[in-house]
Amino acid sequence: MRWGGVCAMKAPRIPENEAERLRALESYRVMDTPPESSFDDLTTLVARILDVPIALVSLVDADRQWFKSRYGLDAPQTPRDVSFCGHVVAEQELLVVPDAFEDDRFHDNPLVTGDPRVRFYAGVPLRTPDGHVLGTLCAIDHEARQISAYQLETLSILGRQVADQLELRRQLRLTKDYEQQLRALFETAVDTIVTIDESGFIEGVNAVVKRTFGYEPTELEGRHIAVLMPARHRKRLEQYLRNYPNDPAAKLVAATQEAIAVRKDGSEFPVEMSVSEMRLGDRRMFTGIVRDITERKRVEQLKSEFVSTVSHELRTPLTSIRGALGLVAGGNLGQISGEAEEMINIALNNSGRLVRLINDILDVEKVQSGRLDFEIQRLDLSRVIKDAKAANDGFALKHDSRIVLHGEPEPVLVYADSDRLAQVFANLISNAVKFSPAGEDVDIHTRVAADRVRVEVRDRGPGVPESFEERLFERFAQADASDRRQISGTGLGLSISKAIVERLNGTIGYEQAAGGGSLFYIELPVAKAVVRDAPTGTRRVLVCEDEPDIALLLRKILAIEGYVVDVASTLAAATALLGEYEYAAVTLDLRLGEENGLDLLQEIRNRPDSIPVVVVSAIADEVRPELDSGASSVVDWITKPIDEKRLLTSIQNSIHGPGKIRLLHVEDDVDLSEMVSALLSDLGALTNVQTLREAREHLDRERYDLVLLDMGLPDGDGAELLPFVGNTPVIVFSAREADASVDESIVESLVKSRVTEQALREAIHRVLPAAS
């Protein structure tokens, strides 16, 4: 448009992506910030290279252009609608104006007609990595002029440097903000957070450590993490950290577990910890989050004791009440009227419900505390199903229902506890009966597929609301519909059933039945894991190995020597065989498929017959130090590939006894050492050392059958040696009596002044029967 023959100034248009562009500009948080030399240096370079009086870093927001850096200009900003830079932002490309007086867009612009008297302008866009133009790097002159290609290329290069500097500034700010947030989280966390390097040395710890462990953070930095755990576990931790990079079976990382920690004052307390691995460049580091659970454990113990005590206390009077009501209802105390009989039967039935409730509560308490006992054996599942049907037929008859076995259940062997399994079926069947309409059947189907067997219990009741399905197996879970609340139950049965089935390595679940109703199922692994040799000898060895080729090799090695061999490839199979036969020895792989052989080792240790175990495993060397003294039943640790001679020697020694034993006597009294050596010389080879240091060196180099330990030694307390004895049993033979609870490796404690020579020999014979 022209007024008086002159074209009016054109304000820069607003780009289509303006909202996104403004958000991008805001994310840089650069507007109205103080000058920075990194930008001022670049505008100075522009002014000198292009020989102009003004150079600017201009950022354009909604209504102004603001100058982050200005060379040769006093004004900090101008309106956007008169800005040259606004046109660069709108067109998103380089703008060169050789003579503003000759350009219709700018000839009457107040920045041209007045200060700063812009005649020449060259501006390059400042572009973000995602393409938004935030502003320009521009050069201004008071005279009309041309710009060479070299100068224009130089301006573009410096413009990219300005954009890079803006992005670097943004990233540094984000990094700083993130670090501040992390530091705030680190310092305000309710749990202790510790970072360690791959050798276990502490690099950082938050302030909560003072409350949890009693240390100031600066006291722990640079020290080994082992200072926060009991001495008896430190060697295992050090071994773990050494082996971790090459041990794919390591379970500490990415897992939450409970442990025992040690405060600065030496007191021990329970903690829950989770450990995660992180990398800083080429460095491997670990972050541990540690929570003091002393109060939780106290509350759990109180709750457990309360539930157990109350439940047991209720059982006694209830037993009397039920017994008395039973006598009256049975007519043993004379005839009663029909109305009274009805009331007595109501009371008798409800006392029965109370007994079942108490039993359920006790079972839940056992599940929570891990004390739900199982007697695993190989059994015919079809027999258990038939017995469960028979046991519940009367209950179904009372509810005008019928339990139907579809097809004769084929014999199928599983490893289970028959009573616990019957408890599960009783719960599923009774629930199905209670929720079935009168006259409807409860169906039981059994299906065997490959290595699993599935048992289904189906009713034709109203089914389970979809919103309730996720809570079906929770404790005290009951649907709230009015028709369900009329049906008796504690809401504990399915929770207990789930714990039982999972303990049997099975699964339990629910499905909406086709055609209506509910379908509950359990799946159990089929017992196909046992292979037996004919009983051709008098010594039986159990081989626990899931690799068929290795199991066959072990079986042949032992059979050639005259041993009767059974092979088990699962923990359940091994447990069943241990309950069925007497074994002279066990060979144990620590990895049985997805199962942990250490669980079976613990079970063997708890047996009264103390069966000797030879660990035959690819990870024997890694796991052995972690167990410290917790594997007293292990007579040898053999890695794969198998050393046949060593295997046979270990089995032979564990069954028949070796000719001699190896005993390490740690005693600083030379005369006493010589006397003990003479006394025990017929038992085997004795090594005498006088200090803790010597004892540790010998234990590192040699394997001993027994350690005879004096607690008062020149370089420290004998208890300091206990973490280094591994699985070797220890008899304390000292001037003072030792507390055997200090460490599991202490199997006997004898006071020198009270023990005769014969008593010492008898103690050794008790610990090592092979020395007899």
Q: What pLDDT does residue 535 have?
A: 43
> Which pLDDT tens digit goes with each residue over 726-767?
778 888 888 766 665 566 778 888 877 666 677 787 788 777
- What's the rounded mean pLDDT across residues 598-604? 84
CA-CA distances (angstroms) from residue 26 to 113, 163, 192?
A: 32, 15, 37
Q: What is the gyration radius of the CA atoms in the chain, in angstroms?
A: 41
- Report pLDDT for 352: 73
For residue 246, the model assigns a pLDDT of 54
565: β partners: 541
Does the pLDDT value for residue 347 go beyond 90? no
At residue 489, the 3 state secondary structure works out as coil
Cα–Cα distance for residue pair 736/712, rounded to 1 Å:
9
- Residues 116, 118, 124, 127, CA torsion sign: positive
Judge whether 610 and 633 are in contact, CB under 8 Å.
yes
Per-residue pLDDT reduced to its tens digit, 447-474:
888 778 899 999 988 888 777 777 777 7
Considering only the C-alpha atoms of the chain, give the largest distance between any 2 of them, rounded to a whole number of Å: 131
Contact 382, 444 (CB under 8 A): no
The chain-wide mean pLDDT, for the chain, equals 81
**Is the predicted pLDDT of residue 135 greater than 50, yes or no?**
yes
Whether 251 has a pLDDT exceeding 80, the answer reads no
Rounded distance between C-alpha atoms, residue 237 and residue 432, angstroms: 51
Give the position of tokens 């030879």. 614
Q: What are the pLDDT digits (tens) for 353-377?
A: 777 777 767 777 666 665 666 777 7
Mean pLDDT value of segment 39-57: 96
Instruction: Report the distance separating Cα 404 and Cα 697, nearest Å.
Output: 70
**Phi and psi torsions of 693, nearest 5°:** -60, -45
* β-strands 530-532, 507-512 pairing: unpaired
DSSP structure string for 398-455:
HTT-EEEE-S-PPP-EEEE-HHHHHHHHHHHHHHHHHHSPTT-EEEEEEEEETTEEEE
Span 505-522, average pLDDT: 86
Burial class (CB in 10 A: 0-12, 13-18, 19+), 615: buried
| Stretch 269-286: mean pLDDT | 85
Does residue 218 or residue 331 have the better pLDDT?
218
Which of the residue ranges 103-117, 238-252, 390-404, 616-630 would you say has the lowest mean pLDDT?
Answer: 238-252
Q: Say what the pTM is.
A: 0.43
Q: Which of 81-85, 132-136, 270-274 comes out lowest in average pLDDT?
A: 270-274
- The pair of structure tokens assigned to 294 is 């002393």
691-731 per-position pLDDT tens digit: 888 888 777 766 778 899 888 888 778 888 887 787 788 88
Contacts for 266 with CB less than 8 Å, ≥ 6 apart: none
**Residue partners of 465: CB distance under 8 A and separation at least 6:** 479, 481
Two structure tokens written together for 516: 């209506």
Alpha-carbon gap, residue 559 to 555, rounded angstroms? 6
Q: What are the C-alpha distances in Å from 368 to residues 243, 313, 360, 361?
A: 33, 20, 12, 11
Encoded amino acid at 545, one letter: E
pLDDT at residue 506, as a whole number: 87
Higher pLDDT, 597 or 334: 597
What would the pLDDT profile of 164-189 be if each residue is shown by its tens digit?
A: 999 999 999 888 888 888 778 777 78
Contact call for residues 590 and 597 (beta carbons, < 8 A): yes
Q: How many whole angstroms separate alpha carbon 409 and alpha carbon 447?
A: 8
**Residues in Cβ contact with 741 at an 8 Å cutoff, skipping those fewer than 6 apart:** none
Asked if pLDDT for residue 393 goes beyond 70, the answer is yes
In the prediction, which pLDDT does 587 show?
A: 92
**Residue that wins the pLDDT comparison between 248 and 120:** 120
- What CA–CA distance (Å, rounded) separates 168 from 122? 25
How high is the pLDDT of residue 627?
Answer: 62
Provide the pLDDT for residue 534: 41
Give me the pLDDT at residue 90, please. 93
Residues 617-644 pLDDT 10s: 877 767 776 664 445 578 788 877 787 7
| Residue pLDDT, tens place only, 411-438 | 788 878 888 888 899 889 988 898 888 8
Average pLDDT over residues 561-583: 85
Residue 250 has pLDDT above 60, yes or no: no
**Burial of 567 from C-beta contacts in 10 A (0-12 / 13-18 / 19+):** buried
